[in-house]
Amino acid sequence: MDKFSQKVTYAIMTTVELGIRHGSPPIQAKSIAHNQSIPARFIEHILSALKQAGLITSLRGAQGGYTLAKEPAETSLAEIVQAMNGQGIHTLNGSTNGQNKTPRTDDALLSGIWQQLQNAELAILRSISLQTLVDHYQELEKKRTLMYHI
């Protein structure tokens, strides 16, 4: 089950790529896109949102590119998701399509449950650091490389 939108997934993989290279010179957008198989048409939008959220910094010029704004262990998965979705993780109870709707009984009945679910989801995302994702990614890459060479 895919829980994250493709945009959020691209943002996570962008920050993982920057986390892998943390402490190295800035990396250009096209290199991030290539290394993580992110379509070029999305990378600038992703980087802009991450920069606006204060998660990454950019450096202009020939040696420019992007770096993480802080240590990977200091960035949570929740921050990355929120950078792409605004302050909410996602909408569980749907959209009203711009119509003013009188609250229905089922909405009133279930709203507390949806709020609990969203709070639990946010707590889990806050507990996962970018460093944890970087470490796991590197383990997966090692296993993939070993399998390829066998």
pLDDT in tens, the chain (150 residues): 458 899 999 999 999 999 999 999 999 999 999 999 999 999 999 999 999 999 999 999 888 999 999 999 999 999 999 999 886 555 343 444 445 556 677 787 888 898 999 899 999 999 999 999 999 999 999 888 776 555
Q: What is the pTM of this model?
A: 0.81
Tokens describing residue 68: 């993480």
For the chain, domains (ranges, CATH) are: 6-89+106-149 (1.10.10.10)
Q: Are 18 and 32 in contact (CB under 8 A)?
A: yes
Element (H, E) at 68: strand 65-68
The pLDDT value recorded for residue 93 is 39
